Amino acid sequence: SLFTVPNINKLCLAINLFFFFFQYIFVGIVMSLMVCFNQYKYIHISSCIVLFLVVDLESPEETEEEIPVVICAAAGRMGAAVAAISSIYSNTEANVLFYIVGLKTTIPHIRRWIENSKLKEIRFKIVEFNPMVLKGKIRQDASRPELLQPLNFVRFYLPLLIQKHEKVIYLDDDIIVQGDIQELYDTKLAPGHAAAFSDDCDLPSTHEMVRSVGMQNTYMGFLDYRKQAIRDLGISPSTCSFNPGVIVANMTEWKHQRITKQLEKWMQRNVEENLYSSTLGGGVATSPMLIVFHGKYSAINPMWHIRHLGWSPDAHYSEHFLQEAKLLHWNGRYKPWDYPSVHTDLWENWFIPDPSGKFKLIRPDS
Ligand SMILES: *[C@@H]1O[C@H](CO)[C@@H](O)[C@H](O)[C@H]1NC(C)=O
C-alpha cells in the first residue's frame, strides 16, 4: 500500500513503557487500559495522543533531581573554583545546585566574579565557613602551610552544610569536569557506606604516573607507622590509599556513623601525638579520612578522577587518555593557573577571567 499507518498497538506500548520508566506508573496503567485494549482504531489513535499530551503537560518540573555540588573558593586561587564550576555547568543538562564555600573575607570577591560573568546563569548558594570550628584541631607545623587552608576541612562538615539533600558531591577546586556530572552523581554507594572515593591503585596509567614521579599511593605515605596509635589501627601500611578530592557522599549514612565526630577525633589526636607522615603526600585532610573510611567506602569510576596532574612539571598523560577522562585533578604543587604546570590548556578552556582583575594567571610570557 501507498500509505501505512504505524502499528498503533506497538506505538502505544512504547509510549506506555516510556512513561512507566519515567515513573508515571499510574498514568501508564490508565493508558494501557484505555488505549491498548481499545477495539476502535480512531478512538485508539486520539486517546493515545490526548493522553500523551496530558501526561506531557502534567509532568512536573520538580521531579527533576537536583544535584548538589560543593566547591570551596579560597583566597588566592579563586580562579580554580570558577574554572571547575564553569566546566561542570557547561557539560551537563542536569539541574546542578552549587554550594560555593568561602571565608568571610573572600565571599564578596567570588560573588562579584559569578554575578559579572556568564556564570550568573548557574544556580548557586554562597556559604561562609567559620574556621573557628577547627581551633585546636590542626597542627601549625606542617611542611606545606598552604595545606592548612581551613577550607580543606570543609569536606569533614558536609552534613552541616547540606541539609535538604541525601546525596552530595564534593569536589576540590583544582579539578575540571569533562563528562556529565550526572554520571558521577549516579555512583552507587553500597549499603553502610557513607562515601565513595577513587582508589590510588585503580588505573594502570595511575601506576605509571606513580612510578614515574615516585609518589606514595599507600597508607604508609600518610600515616606515621612508628606511632603506636597508628599501628593499633591494624591497617597494613601497604594498603592502597584513596584521594578525597572527589567525594560522592550519603548524608544520612554520614550522620548515622557520626563521621564528622570521628574525623574530628583523629584531627585532635594528631595535634596531641603527631600521627601523620611528615611528607604529607596529599594534604592534611587526607590522613583522618584514610583512617575513618578504611574498608568502608565505595568506588568511583576511575575515569571520573584522573589524578596527579599537578604532581610534577614532568608528568604527562597521553592526549588520548586525557580526552577519555571525565574529571581531571591537578593535585600536587603544580597548579594549572600557575607556572610551571602541565596540561594547562585543558584547564584554561574553562577558566573565566576575573572581572575585577585581581586574579591573574601566571604564564611564562606574562
Ligand atoms: C543513604 O543511606 C541510607 C541509610 O543507610 C539509605 O537508606 C539510603 O538508601 C542511602 N541513599 C543513597 C542515595 O544511597
Q: Which residues share a beta bridge with 98?
A: 69, 124
Q: Is the CB of residue 258 less than 8 Å from the CB of residue 185?
A: no
Split at pLDDT 50, 70, 90, the class of 5 is: very low
Q: Are the C-beta atoms of 139 and 133 separated by less than 8 Å?
A: no
| Cα–Cα distance measured from residue 49 to residue 349, given in angstroms and rounded to the nearest whole number | 45
Residue 57 pLDDT level (bands cut at 50, 70, 90): very low
Closest residue by CA, ligand 1 atom 11: 250
Structure confidence at residue 20 as a pLDDT band (50, 70, 90): low
* Candidate of 166, 251, 300 to mutate for ligand 1, largest count of ligand atoms within 8 Å of Cβ: 166
User: Relative to the CA of 192, which ligand 1 atom is closest?
Assistant: 5
pLDDT for 58 beyond 80: no
| 2 has pLDDT over 80 | no
pLDDT digits (tens, 9 = 90+) for 175-231: 999 999 999 999 999 999 999 999 988 777 766 766 666 667 889 989 999 999 999
Task: Tell me what the pLDDT averaged over the chain comes to.
Answer: 85
- Decide whether any atom of ligand 1 lies within 6 Å of the 255 Cβ: no
Indicate the pLDDT class of residue 149, thresholds 50, 70 and 90: confident
With a pLDDT cut of 70, the percent of the chain lying above it is 76
Tell me how far apart the alpha carbons of residues 209 and 228 are, in angstroms, rounded to a whole number. Answer: 32
- Those residues with Cβ within 8 angstroms of residue 249's Cβ, 6 or more apart along the chain or in another chain: 158, 167, 168, 169, 170, 194, 195, 196
State the distance from the centre of ligand 1 to the C-alpha of 167, rounded, in angstroms: 8
Lowest mean pLDDT among 28-37, 54-63, 78-87, 277-286: 54-63
Burial tier of 13 (Cβ tally within 10 Å: 0-12, 13-18, 19+): middle
- Measured by CA distance, the residue closest to atom 2 of ligand 1 is 253
Mean local confidence (pLDDT), 20-33: 61
How far apart (Å, rounded) are the C-alpha atoms in residues 305 and 303? 5
- Closest alpha carbon to 194 in 280, 115, 252, 130: 252
Among the listed ranges 53-67, 133-147, 322-336, which one has the minimum average pLDDT value?
53-67
Q: How far, in whole angstroms, is CA 58 from its chain's centroid?
A: 32
Ligand 1 pocket check for 186: Cβ under 6 Å: no
* Mean pLDDT in residue range 292-311: 95
Distance CA 39, CA 111 (A): 62
Each residue's pLDDT tens digit, 155-188: 999 999 999 999 999 999 999 999 999 999 999 9
Does ligand 1 come within 6 angstroms of the Cβ of 252? yes
For residue 63, count other CB atoms closer than 10 A to its CB.
9
More confident residue, 24 or 71: 71
Residues 6+ apart with CB under 8 A from 107: 126, 128
**CB-ligand 1 contact for 189 (6 Å cutoff):** yes
Q: Residue 14: its pLDDT value, please?
A: 74
Instruction: Tell which atom from ligand 1 comes closest to the C-alpha of 188.
Output: 14
Ligand 1 contact, 257 CB (< 6 A): no
167 Cβ below 6 A of ligand 1: yes
* pTM of the predicted protein model: 0.82
Report yes or no: 203 and 258 within 8 Å, Cβ to Cβ. no
Residue 52: pLDDT band by 50, 70, 90 thresholds?
very low
C-alpha cell at 183: 554520571
Alpha-carbon Rg for the chain, nearest whole angstrom, is 25
pLDDT for residue 202: 77
- The residue that leads in pLDDT, 79 or 51, is 79
Index of the ligand 1 atom closest to the CA of residue 189: 14
pLDDT digits (tens, 9 = 90+) for 98-112: 999 999 999 999 999
Nearest CA, atom 10, ligand 1? 250
Question: Which atom number of ligand 1 is nearest to the Cα of residue 167?
Answer: 13
Nearest-CA residue for atom 12 of ligand 1: 250
> Is the per-residue pLDDT at 139 higher than 90?
no
Least confident of 31-40, 82-91, 331-340: 31-40
Rounded distance from Cα 191 to ligand 1 centre (Å): 7
- Atom 4 of ligand 1: nearest residue by CA position: 253
Contact 243, 331 (CB under 8 A): yes
Whether the predicted pLDDT of 247 surpasses 60: yes
Sign of CA dihedral 173, 175, 176, 177: negative
The number of CA neighbours under 13 Å toward the Cβ of 285 is 20
For residue 198, the model assigns a pLDDT of 95
Residue 136 sits at the vertex; the CA angle it makes with 107 and 268, to the nearest 5 degrees, is 115
Q: What is the pLDDT of residue 19?
A: 65
- The band of 279, judged by pLDDT with boundaries at 50, 70 and 90, is low
51 contact partners, CB below 8 Å, separation of at least 6: 27, 30, 31, 34, 35
Q: What is the mean pLDDT of residues 42-69?
A: 57
For ligand 1, the distance from its centroid to the CA atom of residue 10, given in whole angstroms, is: 37
Tell the residue nearest (CA) to atom 5 of ligand 1.
253
250 in ligand 1 pocket by Cβ < 6 Å? yes
What is the share, in percent, of the chain residues with pLDDT greater than 90?
Answer: 65
Establish whether residue 193 lines the binding site of ligand 1, counting it when its CB lies within 6 angstroms of any ligand atom: no
Q: Alpha-carbon distance 305 to 197, whole Å?
A: 9
pLDDT tens digits, one per residue of 34-44: 655 555 555 55
What pLDDT shows up at residue 49?
47
Q: Identify which of 158, 253, 255, 258 to mutate to test ligand 1's pocket (most ligand atoms within 8 A of the CB).
A: 253
Residue 144 CB: number of other CB atoms within 10 A?
11
Residue type, 253: E
> Does residue 152 have a pLDDT over 70?
yes
